[in-house]
């Protein structure tokens, strides 16, 4: 990767003053409900422009309009100063815009080069695609963005970070003038994210505009010179210079000064042990884990990405088989061989990848909530037919209890914002009332407001006696919600924090101290 060493002004604000994209007072309705009530944004060549807002604020709808997937009802859109109506995704590409979403576009059965060239016209020779000529053209661009895998290698088995590089390379091959990145670091480790930030700055310095959409405000502050804030389908501010602060962003996103209420930590001494895990292991990612989870406790699992937290959850939930170790649930032996057995015994899981593992996106909210509650909505045990009214009432109870923003129980969950999708997954388990509720990255990809709502929900459940295990790679999250935190590294628990010792600094220090120790051992 070439470091162009552009000045802060060039990198953060761009080298040109004439906007590439100007959107003014864009409106859009779906089914009578207004998704956009009048949003505006302008994007200058060579700048990294942040776009933030609560889930459902209108960010995704604007991106779909720029991509030609959705047509606005009103407002004006100009590209290079010329009024433009973007009718199709192909037209958006021809205008110089490329979009990289959380669900990356790649085909596992193809090579790196073939994935880079997806959707791009290819030169031919004697009626055949001339892959040698293509590779000569693509190789310097791939090197520029830091792709180290051979272009002829299969993408199967590549990391999320490597697939991000493939998508960025595809954008540059298309000679994109604007790259829209939606939650780019949601599935990246800290080191992978830093490499991506270097690439973003390099793109900016070379004149490519980047529209950076993220709920991680520290990234926004670090990368962006200007930030546009959406709230409830409207533009509510553009922050830059001294006004661009974390507090200013949060206030703009939520519409006021957020009230922070640190949790009242519960003493667990003497509380009933609900789940006990002793020396649980599965090589090479989980190495002899032991802990007790108490009634009414919120226990956190922290550590760096790759520490083994999700792998541990899969063992507890019966998704993977352990090599050795024992567990008890309410004092009785607990050894689920399948997730179904774990659910039957009294566990519930909100998985890390809610869209891939927690929801059926093409089905309704009511359908998704009912998945763990079928016995409650069938006509009778002898007649296992779904009672439609009972299913609707179950969904309505969940919508009211969690304040889910939706048109109704039959709305497809794929149309809901990330925060509301997460509430649907959590609501499914609240209706079942499991003995142990496991939440893996419960607020990943959700906005500030939804994050606070989920945290308050977790605490309220604990106050009612629920035993909760929260897994998070964000050290800021665990102190906000947990009574105790176990920090993992290299598949082991390396520190236990409780009471006033639970802090972001302590979690980070424990995570990285162990990581550095292991690096020294392997050096």
Q: Does residue 123 belong to any structural domain of this protein? A: yes
Residue 441 and residue 519 share a domain = yes
- Let me know whether 291 and 239 are in one domain: no
Residue 216: closest CA among 183, 188, 244, 240: 183
Residues 332 and 456 in one domain: yes
Any domain includes 464: yes
Measured CA to CA, the distance from residue 22 to residue 420 in angstroms comes to: 30
Taking the C-alpha atoms of residue 487 and residue 494, their distance in angstroms, rounded to an integer, is 6
Structure tokens at 110: 């193809």
d(CA 303, CA 509): 10
Provide the CA 444 distance to its chain's centre, in angstroms: 4
Tens digits of per-residue pLDDT, 302-318?
987 678 898 999 999 99
Q: Are residues 397 and 448 in the same domain?
A: no
Q: What percent of the chain has pLDDT over 70?
A: 90
Question: Quick one: 422 and 441 in the same domain?
Answer: no
Tally of domains within the chain = 4
Looking at the structure, tell me whether residues 88 and 14 fall in a common domain: yes
Same domain, 461 and 315: yes
Query: Distances from the Cα of 336 to the Cαs of 286, 345, 346, 349, 492, in angstroms?
Result: 17, 8, 11, 14, 22
Q: pLDDT category, 436, cuts 50, 70, 90?
A: very high
Q: What is the mean predicted confidence (pLDDT) over 477-483?
A: 91
Query: Which pLDDT band holds residue 523 (cuts at 50, 70, 90)?
Result: very low
Q: Does the pLDDT value for residue 96 go beyond 90? A: yes
Mean pLDDT for the stretch of residues 22-32: 90
The pLDDT score that the predictor gives to residue 259 is: 47
Show the tokens assigned to 81.
Answer: 């100063």
194 in a structural domain: no
For residue 233, count other CB atoms closer than 10 A to its CB.
22
Note the pLDDT tens digit of each residue in 505-520.
788 778 765 444 444 3
Residue with tokens 């891939």: 356
The pLDDT-based confidence of 102 (bands split at 50, 70, 90) is: low
**C-alpha–C-alpha distance, residues 289 and 311, integer Å:** 11
CB-count burial class (<10 Å; 0-12, 13-18, 19+) for 389: exposed
Asked if residue 340 and residue 462 are part of one domain, the reply reads yes
Mean pLDDT of the chain: 86
The band of 521, judged by pLDDT with boundaries at 50, 70 and 90, is: very low
At 54, the pLDDT band (50, 70, 90 cuts) reads confident
**Looking at per-residue confidence, does 410 or 163 come out higher?**
410
Q: Of 433, 466, 493, which residue is a domain's last? A: 433
User: Pairing relation of β-strands 21-30 and 74-79?
Assistant: antiparallel
Can you give the pLDDT at residue 35? 87
Residue 226: inside a domain = yes
The domain containing residue 320 runs over which residues?
273-346+435-523
pLDDT (0 to 100) of residue 517? 40
**Cβ-Cβ contacts under 8 Å for 276 (sequence gap 6 or more):** 291, 292, 293, 327, 328
Percent of the chain at pLDDT exceeding 90: 47
- Predicted local distance difference test score (pLDDT) of residue 515: 42
- The candidate with the shortest Cα–Cα distance to 284, out of 312, 259, 250, is 312
Report the run of H or E that residue 1 belongs to, with start and end. none
User: Beta strand pairing status for 324-329 and 332-333?
Assistant: antiparallel
Residue that is last in its domain, among 433, 467, 497:
433
- Looking only at the bridges linking them, the beta strands covering 33-43 and 178-182 are unpaired
Q: What tens digit of pLDDT does each residue of 72-81 get? A: 999 999 999 9
Say if residue 328 is in the same domain as residue 366.
no
Residue 346: predicted pLDDT: 94
Residues 66 and 185 placed together within one structural domain of the fold: yes
Residue 419 belongs to some domain of the structure: yes
Cα(153)–Cα(157) distance, integer angstroms? 10
CATH number for the domain that contains residue 294: 3.40.50.300
Picking from 156, 207, 215, the residue whose alpha carbon sits closest to that of residue 179 is 207
DSSP bridge partners of 124: 129
Same domain, residue pair 211 and 317: no
CA distance 374 to 76: 48
Distance CA 417, CA 149 (A): 35
pLDDT digits (tens, 9 = 90+) for 115-142: 889 888 888 888 888 888 989 989 998 9
What three-state secondary structure class fits 43? strand
In a domain, 197, yes or no: no
Model-level pTM? Answer: 0.60
Residue 352 lies in a domain: no
User: 187 CB contacts (<8 Å, ≥6 apart)?
Assistant: 102, 160
Both 151 and 248 in a single domain?
Answer: no
Banded model confidence at residue 267, pLDDT cuts 50, 70, 90: low
Residue of 336, 318, 428 whose CA lies nearest to 374: 428
Query: Computed over its alpha carbons, how large is the radius of gyration of the chain?
Result: 24
In a domain, 28, yes or no: yes
């Amino acid at each position: 990767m070439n470091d162009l060493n552009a000045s802060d002004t060039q990198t953060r604000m761009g080298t040109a003053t004439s906007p590439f994209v100007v959107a003014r007072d864009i409106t859009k309705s779906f089914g009578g409900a207004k998704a956009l009530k009048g949003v505006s944004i302008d994007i200058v060549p060579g700048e990294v422009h942040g776009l933030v807002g609560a889930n459902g604020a209108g960010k995704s709808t604007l991106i779909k309009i720029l991509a030609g997937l959705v047509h606005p009802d009103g407002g004006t859109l100009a590209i290079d100063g010329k009024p433009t109506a973007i009718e199709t995704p192909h037209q958006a590409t021809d205008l110089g815009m490329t979009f990289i979403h959380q669900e990356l576009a790649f085909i596992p059965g193809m090579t790196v080069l073939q994935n880079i060239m997806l959707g791009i016209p290819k030169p031919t020779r004697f009626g055949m695609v001339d892959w040698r000529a293509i590779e000569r053209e693509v190789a310097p661009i791939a090197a520029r963005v830091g792709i180290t895998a051979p272009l002829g290698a299969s993408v199967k088995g590549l990391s999320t970070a490597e697939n991000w590089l493939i998508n960025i390379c595809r954008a540059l091959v298309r000679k994109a003038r604007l790259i829209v990145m939606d939650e780019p670091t949601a599935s990246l480790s800290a080191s992978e994210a830093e490499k991506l930030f270097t690439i973003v700055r390099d793109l900016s310095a070379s004149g490519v505009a980047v529209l950076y959409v993220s709920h991680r405000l520290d990234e926004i502050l670090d990368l962006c010179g200007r930030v546009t804030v959406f709230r409830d389908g409207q533009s509510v501010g553009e922050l830059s210079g001294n006004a661009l602060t974390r507090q200013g962003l949060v206030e703009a996103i939520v519409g006021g000064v957020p009230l922070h209420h640190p949790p009242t930590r519960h003493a667990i001494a003497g509380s009933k042990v609900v789940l006990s895990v002793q020396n649980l292991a599965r090589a090479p990612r989980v190495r002899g884990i032991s802990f007790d989870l108490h009634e009414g406790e919120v226990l956190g699992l922290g550590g760096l990405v790759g520490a083994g937290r999700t792998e541990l959850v899969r063992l507890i939930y019966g998704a993977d088989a352990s090599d050795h170790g024992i567990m008890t649930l309410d004092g009785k032996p607990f050894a689920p061989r399948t997730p179904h057995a774990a659910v039957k015994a009294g566990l519930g899981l909100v998985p890390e990848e809610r869209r891939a593992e927690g929801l059926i996106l093409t089905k309704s909210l009511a359908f998704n909530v009912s998945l763990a509650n079928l016995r409650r909505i069938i006509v009778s045990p002898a007649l296992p037919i779904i009672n439609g009214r009972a299913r609707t009432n179950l969904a309505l109870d969940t919508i009211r209890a969690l304040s889910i923003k939706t048109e109704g129980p039959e709305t497809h969950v794929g149309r809901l914002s990330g925060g509301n999708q997460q509430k649907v997954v959590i609501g499914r388990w609240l209706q079942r009332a499991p003995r142990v509720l496991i939440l893996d990255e419960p607020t990943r990809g959700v906005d500030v407001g939804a994050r606070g709502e989920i945290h308050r929900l977790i605490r309220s459940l604990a106050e009612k006696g629920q035993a909760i295990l929260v897994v998070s790679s964000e050290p800021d999250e665990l102190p906000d919600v947990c009574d105790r935190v176990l920090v993992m590294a290299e598949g082991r628990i390396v520190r236990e924090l409780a009471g006033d010792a639970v802090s972001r600094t302590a979690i980070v220090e424990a995570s990285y101290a162990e990581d550095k120790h292991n690096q020294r051992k392997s050096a």
